[in-house]
Amino acid sequence: MEGKAEGKAEGKIELLQRGLELRFGSVPSDLVQQLERLNSEQLDALIAAMMQAPTQESFATQLPNGHTASNGAISP
């Protein structure tokens, strides 16, 4: 059962990466690393946030304990 949950989480991460790429261009690797640390419920919330965020920086503020640095990079 654990493998199935991991597979679902990986699919959600891929969906987020692809959606962010389509909406905002390239996705910083540190943002991807943050996504990989989240649970399924957090990823679900971020999928909705991705669809509503006007910018990648705005999306990043929705990450648990995440914020953007002055250069637009995502910080833990």
**Residue 68 bridge partners (DSSP):** 74
More confident residue, 56 or 5: 56
**Residue 75 bridge partners (DSSP):** 67
Supply the pTM of this predicted model. Answer: 0.78
Name the pLDDT band for 75 (thresholds 50, 70, 90): very low
Residue with tokens 């959600």: 12
More confident residue, 11 or 64: 11
Sequence-ordered list of residues with C-beta below 8 angstroms from that of 61, at least 6 positions apart, any chain: 67, 68
Reported as a single tens digit per residue, the pLDDT across 27-58 is 999 999 999 999 999 999 999 999 999 999 99
